[in-house]
A and B are shown apart, each in its own frame.
Chain A
């Protein structure tokens, strides 16, 4: 299965550099070498997605990992803005959080999150989760376009 996969561009949004490192490493465990971009906060994430300022030439991400708890613009707000833009709303966004909070989960779902990942307390489990999630979304991207729902095809 995985051999068929093509590389996708992944945007990683997390204020914790170690966490970013971990996720990047986890993603690199995939057989396909995806392009992984990292930004440390919500503002940069929005600039990257909407190609503003320093990120004017940024590629369009095929998948976004978005941490919820961030200083400044929160993950929820970034999610809301991405999903509010007709051009970008089809980019799959996986929310990540360190704390299990139903209200937050509900809020993320309302804002249009495609997935919600709890950073598991067990580090190994966390790595596995990221890996599985990346794999899933990569495979979604590989489907022939006419098999996909239109919103996932428009890139």
Chain B
């Protein structure tokens, strides 16, 4: 698992290839060695047999005459040859007669006492492997010695007859050392050659695998670059094989991805461009609206200043005259001056109300959640004296009132103006009651302010909410008012997206109904809103 994690495919391939190669070389070397060893053994065995036969022929005469010294000489002669290590002569009863050995410590007695070396006369002319620490590995073969010459002399015939006499046995040991050494050398050589081949092959294999994997690596690198967001990555496709197919498919895929991506980017750019345009338009509109509002504010300031200043002067002059010369004037002059003052006062109030009306839409105040019942309590407190004086009862519905989110001062202005109106137009009605209530709907709250006053003439109803349009009653009854109050109410209600309506019967009373959204913040935020510019000029 660990190996798989740390080694790449290439390394694994190289390892597999190398182990295969090593196995093949080792196997072939082993088989070769085994075969050569066997062939060598066979060859040596054959040589041993021949030597034994030749020696048997040579030893015939000494055996016959019993010349043991001659046998010993024969044996020692033989020892001089390269690979003969041991020659033993025995008589026909297998009793050892003479021994010649490379190892001087290996005596006849020791031979006779070592059963493993003693010649087995039942297995003549057969090769046996023997080992002595001083002589190493050697092949031992035992051959019989026959009296062939005497037979020939006796019969006068050449060649053997059936009547042969066993003279004794001889044993020859042939050393394997030299051959083994040669074999070892050959083995070493072949191993060295195998190693060299392997060492030569390893870089070759590495190079080969590297070359085979080159396009795959390129593909992987390209895939990585694409994963990293570089869609210009491509791979060479000129190979005719499967890797070439893969590369072509890969390039096709990359091409498509690039194409789609470009489309997406273009679409995105278009979208961004549109958003930018729209934003610019909106900003422009906003700027224009802001400028307009600022302009209006400025205009209102100027009007307020310029209308008020002469009025103040007129009034001031009248007041000064009264203050300084009251005792010199007769009653008529004093009365006229007082009328001037009174009119200036009315006009000044009118101007301030008009300014307020026009500011309803431009000078926005803080939006906050308002408990309408509390607000109504405040308003009722304002009119406490008026209500007591005129013996009017103001009834606020005990039912639930909603909490509205809007400008507190504006909402107060609505109720204040309506209740003020109701008080003013109560007249001499026997039933003197003003009723304020609410019915909360899904997203709107509907309020009503109902009085039992003198009512409004049907002809006046259509113009009721217009500025400076006062009902005929007000003139007849000399009711103080400027005709701005209801216009303000309508303006405020409609600014919040509400509606206002009125129902009235002469002599019975009037009912104003208006609706306000429960949460008018959304609309209010869409409205152009701007603080007045601090004018220092």
Contact = CB atoms under 8 A, between A and B. Distances in A.
B431 interface: no
B317 A18 contact: yes
Interface in A48-103: 69, 74, 76, 98-99, 101, 103
A103 B532 contact: yes
Interface in B472-525: none
B348 interface: yes
Main secondary structure of the interface of A (DSSP, over half): helix
Contacts of B352: 121
B305 A69 contact: yes
A26 B534 CA distance: 31
Contacts of B305: 69, 98-99
B309 interface: yes
Interface stretch (A2-10, A123-131, A132-140, A142-150): A123-131
Nearest to B313: A18
B168 interface: no
Size band of the A side of the interface? 20 to 34
**Quick one: which of A74, A103, A107 has the most chain B CB within 10 A?**
A103
A123 B309 contact: no
Given A107-B536, A121-B348, A19 B320 contact: no
Given A16-B309, A99-B304, A124 B319 contact: yes
A25 interface: yes
B126 interface: no
B318 interface: yes
Interface string B292-320: 00000000010011001111111111111
B227 interface: no
B536 A123 contact: no
Given A98-B304, A121-B308, A122-B315, A127 B532 contact: no
A114 interface: no
Interface string B348-376: 11001000000000000000000000000
A124 B534 contact: no
B330 to A, nearest CB: 21
B62 to A, nearest CB: 152
Interface in A7-27: 16, 18-19, 22, 25-26
B64 interface: no
B345 interface: yes
B344 interface: yes
- Label chain B's interface by main secondary structure: helix
Given A99-B301, A121-B348, A104 B535 contact: yes
B341 A16 contact: no
In this complex, the member of A76, A103, A119, A122 whose beta carbon has the largest number of chain B beta carbons within 10 angstroms is: A122
A29 interface: yes
B309 A98 contact: yes
Q: Which size bracket describes the interface of B in this complex?
A: 20 to 34
B409 interface: no
B377 to A, nearest CB: 28
A126 B323 contact: no
Given A22-B320, A104-B536, A122 B308 contact: no
Contact of A127 (B310, B320, B345): B320
Nearest to B300: A99
A104 to B, nearest CB: 7
Given A18-B317, A22-B317, A29-B323, A123 B344 contact: yes
Nearest to A123: B315
A16 B313 contact: yes
B304 A127 contact: no
B157 interface: no
Nearest to A17: B313
Interface string B306-346: 00111111111111100110000000000000000100110
Nearest to A120: B312
A32 to B, nearest CB: 17
Contacts of B3: none
A68 to B, nearest CB: 8
A9 B534 CA distance: 32
Contact of B316 (A29, A98, A103, A123): A123
Contacts of A18: 310, 313, 316-317
A127 B308 contact: no
A127 B316 contact: yes
B534 A107 contact: yes
Interface string B126-142: 00000000000000000
A69 B298 CA distance: 13
Nearest to A130: B316
B316 A76 contact: no
Contacts of A69: 305, 537
A22 B314 CA distance: 10
Nearest to A29: B323
Given A16-B309, A122-B348, A22 B316 contact: yes
A26 B341 CA distance: 17
A79 B191 CA distance: 113
A101 B535 contact: yes
B327 to A, nearest CB: 15
A29 B301 CA distance: 31
Contacts of B308: 98-99, 119, 121
Q: Which of B310, B318, B532, B534 has the most CB of A within 10 A?
A: B534
A88 to B, nearest CB: 21
Of residues B310, B312, B316, B349, which shows the largest number of chain A Cβ atoms within 10 Å of its Cβ? Answer: B316
Q: Most chain-A Cβ atoms within 10 A of its Cβ — which of B308, B348, B532, B535?
A: B535
A122 B314 CA distance: 11
Contacts of A127: 316, 319-320, 323
Interface of A: 16, 18-19, 22, 25-26, 29, 69, 74, 76, 98-99, 101, 103-104, 106-107, 119, 121-124, 126-127
5 contacts: A19-B309, A74-B536, A104-B535, A107-B534, A123-B341
Given A19-B309, A25-B324, A99-B301, 18 more contacts: A16-B309, A18-B316, A25-B320, A29-B323, A29-B324, A98-B305, A99-B304, A104-B534, A106-B534, A107-B534, A121-B348, A122-B315, A122-B345, A122-B348, A123-B315, A123-B318, A126-B316, A127-B316
The 5 closest A-B pairs by CB, nearest first: A123-B315, A103-B534, A123-B316, A18-B313, A121-B348
